[in-house]
Amino acid sequence: MTWKVRPVTLAVSAVPTARAEAAPLPLPEVPTVAGARLLVPLVDGTRVGYANLDHAASAPCLDTVRDAVDELLPWYASVHRGAGFASQVSTKVYEQARDVLRRFVGARRTDTVVFTRNTTDSLNLLARAVPKGTSVVLFDTEHHAALLPWRGPNVRRVEAPATAAETVPALEAALRRCPEGPRLVVLTGASNVTGELWPVAALAEVAHRYGARVVLDAAQLAPHRPVRIGELGVDYVAVSGHKLYAPFGGGALIGRADWLQAAEAYLVGGGATAQVVDHGDRLGVAWSAVPERHEAGSPNVVGAHALAVACETLSANWDAVVLHERALFRRLRAGLASVPGLRALSLFEEDGDRVGVVSFTVDGIESGLVAAVLSAEYGIGVRDGAFCAHIATRRLLGRVGAGEQRAVRVSIGLGTTAEHVDRVVAALRTLVADGPGVAYAVVDGRWAPVEDTRPLPPFLA
């Protein structure tokens, strides 16, 4: 299938505002990101400033993080067991990062901080560490990182109700059916599909009333709002560096130490062992205490440092960050509401609190084609698909009567400007009114321009 070619009549550099009365936003000054001046090629041979509206997938690197990594790299060396001065510096950096993460989420004095690769890694680690026979309760709309590690006869998946308030009695009913023994509730802080905030504190209160612990998937929440263990009443928090403007392969699981201390090492190897003895027919292994027990191999000191610097930067700027994103998000939602045939997805009430994520479909235009047009003709990066939350996305698509199994997701953050928001709204309005500006076809399962001459950057040439 291809689209009929039409002349491109909307220049990206002169995209009109979403509404005639829209004016430049008095946005607060927020931390800057690498790539803010990135130019990307369009199919017409021109270049335009990149509008990164895919923060929910991976956020750009903060300038403070990039500078901190550059400062560390000359000192990079082995961690924990090196006698050299550079090794001592790297070890100090790595362990200080734990303290920063602890403060970032308001962890208790007895909580541990285990460095991981990302939220997925953190939740898989906890899934391996829960006591045998633990009953696990979670809502079925979770991201796959929080959904898939928990499978088997002891797992109870609760269908997410239509309102946030109804989640509390739904969770209580599920916990009431759990047998005696250890229990764990898995919660999401903010939906990666709709951006809606879950009532974590209320759900955690119910969980504790029934003797359950709570782990919070904060991947989408932590980059946008403060996360405090005590205020939310959770027992564990999982975060990802690549969502927190620190894309250097670092993440963390922060929370109660006892289950992690009692568990076998998540990975086996150097660093996780206090002692290994040869008994001839077998090896005798004494595992290290947490957190080292679950950090086998050479630690990612650069990733840990980057994550810590990002957390410090956000902590010092929360008021500005929240105001910046709320102003842009109001502008985005108002603009999208003006696009004919656009259907936004919601788990709960339309007026519920959200971070800057909107997923939607456009009547008569496949979501993959929408994303391809935005990229090729307007220099806008968005995401299309089911967002690693297939159950949630498909259920929401059914609610709005969409005829496909995919949606478009626009997500904002510190790299977003008012011009980016206005550009995507204007581009969608033009696409709905006039169709694509060049011919498109499905190539290797994805929509792409039939003649795509956009050059790759020189380092890939």
Closest Cα partner for 145 from 251, 268, 259?
251
Burial class (CB in 10 A: 0-12, 13-18, 19+), 155: middle
- Angstrom distance (rounded) from CA 391 to CA 40: 34
DSSP annotation of 253 reads E
Closest Cα partner for 163 from 207, 208, 128, 198?
198
Annotated catalytic residue, options 61, 178, 311, 388: 388
- Angstrom distance (rounded) from CA 136 to CA 279: 38
The yes-or-no answer on residue 388 being catalytic is yes
The token duo for 415 is 């790299």
- Angstrom distance (rounded) from CA 230 to CA 201: 9
Hey, is 276 helix, strand or coil?
strand
Query: Dihedral angle at the C-alpha atoms of 231, 353, 414, 336, nearest 10 degrees?
Result: 170
Closest Cα partner for 350 from 366, 336, 370, 364?
336
- Across-strand partners of 277? 284
- H or E, element range at 239: strand 236-240
- Angstrom distance (rounded) from CA 30 to CA 320: 6
Q: Is the peptide bond before 457 cis (omega within 30 degrees of 0)?
A: no
Please list the active-site residues.
388
